[in-house]
Structure 1
């Protein structure tokens, strides 16, 4: 069942779990066997609670009859802080003038201002851009093929849902000035004309830019966190934000509400 999941949509957690099951070399037929396997993950594989919890979620999806009653406690780590508006401005201004990485300015501007997933922005085609209505149509990604950063395959979005993302003035002006290709051409590509390798961008362009500016490092995916957080802080509802970003509403409540603007407590 895991192998089928991996063939359908590659996931590193599925691959890791499959490796552990093979290394365990025992059949899991009962709930007691399932508990023994989870104990083995801790004592022999030395798996961190967070990884163990992730594996358990997969196992409960596949075999709830065996793993449904098992629970794993994993302490919460501090949440990564969204970038402030000042930091976003610093990053984009620096990229615009950077002699090595200015090519990626527009790509990162879109990430900050639309909250699209990295793979969605990488796979964006000109046919999905409506400059008259000022909106993007998101229903596909250009995701990694079996974990390889330089090989991509086109597939549906993470939750398989189609959504319309409105664009603000900054994104509209950027798209207007970009050279237009054919409708099936990518909006963004690498300096050599290939699809963008987000691992390469993260390890070079992004990492070096933050270090140069003295901004605490957060991964490139935090552009999405930043957008969602600022949407909510600006007064948009959870539902409105979720419709644009494609987030699960529960996830927004748990991870984004209050991450930018802290509540002011009364003086008693």
Structure 2
């Protein structure tokens, strides 16, 4: 394909895109020709991508991050809401801060970034919104009532938004990874990792790139008629949910 007929790069934003699944998604979109920005709280952004420091629990920081992205690479056409945290504890021992902080980042943080992205997406009458949930949001997991509640909430959030914006050629989908081999999961006890593998029919963790390829599909033209979907990428762990 000649330069004159090549598709223009889209402006993409991946929250929490400096490590793990988010980084894999951002780098995959960039390799396939998109202009990609990432938000991050700590550390450094991936080389070659626009990095914007942002805490999604702060609405002012979210607004400032979008303004930077809009100035540098245009309005956001593809939003991947990936930023998230865990604060695991059995419910009788869980503090208010542990519960609320996870909800604020993993659910309300998504609300903040999606609401801000909608300014440009609604005006353009075109866009792709992809939320990164978890199989835990469908299956549940001991010690993760806060995390599971937030990730399950993303499904209702996405499907309600579909009914608001679908007529404007805007799709909203949810990707629900299972056990993914990242720096974060590498720190889990062997007994926990063995349990994940035992309940995964494919018998192994996912690589971050396997999540990224599904996100790229949802962001592309091939998925133009796919919206309101929850796609488990978990090796079969959440079958039937």
TM-score (norm 2): 0.23
Structure 1 or 2: more strand by fraction? 2
In terms of Rg, which structure is larger? 1
